[in-house]
Amino acid sequence: SCHSTISYRPIRPSDIEILEQIHGNIFPIRYESEFFQDVAHGHGIVSWAAVDHSRDDGKGDEPIGFITARVVLATESEILDLLKKDSAESEWSLVYILTLGVVDSYRNLGIASSLILEVIKYASSIPTCRAVYLHVISYNFPAIHLYKKMSFKCIRRLPGFYLIDGQHYDSYLFVYFVKGC
């Protein structure tokens, strides 16, 4: 299958231009150049790029998909109420997925699923981590389908969470519980 030529690695500074370009193409929301700097330099953000080694256009190391995430304190998050009460609560952490995307020509090959699994593996390796969570705009059915398939639970609908070109859109909050919940 095509999966065998896809591999996953951290995003690095030489990826900034292509990463910024892909984000611009596939998201309705603009991201500041500071965001891409932080991603590429690992400043408070963990990331994975999917690359296709079998490309014969000399771009075998160029990202064709990505996932970015941030580790946050559970007590500073909006989902503390979803976690079982515990005396170690103040130390709990969560992994928040910021962006996930795959370029058009590489969709439906399982690449986004693999990128999510990388984040789940990472979260599971952090002893204090209780869950992985994210927001998704309510009309993004491919992404909603994907998160459900990956065993994320849809926890709540947040009215008007996104503001795009002066229009408000609802979001869904999806959570994947890592352990003990």
Residue span 17-56 as binding mask against ligand ACO, x where in contact by CB under 6 A, dash where not: ---------x------------------------------
> Rule CB under 6 A: is residue 111 a binding residue for ligand ACO?
yes
DSSP 82: G
Nearer to ligand ACO, 29 or 126 (CB): 29
Q: Which stretch binds ligand ACO (CB under 6 A): 1-9, 30-38, 84-92, 102-110?
A: 102-110
Distance in angstroms (rounded) separating the CA atoms of residues 171 and 157:
6
Q: Which residue has the tokens 């490309």?
A: 55
- Nearest approach in angstroms of CB 47 to ligand ACO is 12
> Rule CB under 6 A: is residue 107 a binding residue for ligand ACO?
yes
- Nearest approach in angstroms of CB 139 to ligand ACO is 10
DSSP 147: H
Sheet strands side by side (includes 63-73): 6-9, 46-52, 63-73, 93-102, 129-137, 167-177, 153-164
User: How many residues in the shown chain lie near ligand ACO by CB under 6 A?
Assistant: 22
Among 143, 161, 162, 177, binds ligand ACO (CB under 6 A): 143
Task: Region of 47 please: left (phi>0), alpha (psi -120 to 50) or beta.
Answer: beta
Among 12, 61, 79, 110, binds ligand ACO (CB under 6 A): 110
Distance in angstroms (rounded) separating the CA atoms of residues 172 and 181:
20
Distance in angstroms (rounded) separating the CA atoms of residues 110 and 50:
11
Interface residues with ligand ACO (CB under 6 A) are: 26, 97, 99-102, 107-113, 134, 136, 140-143, 145-146, 149
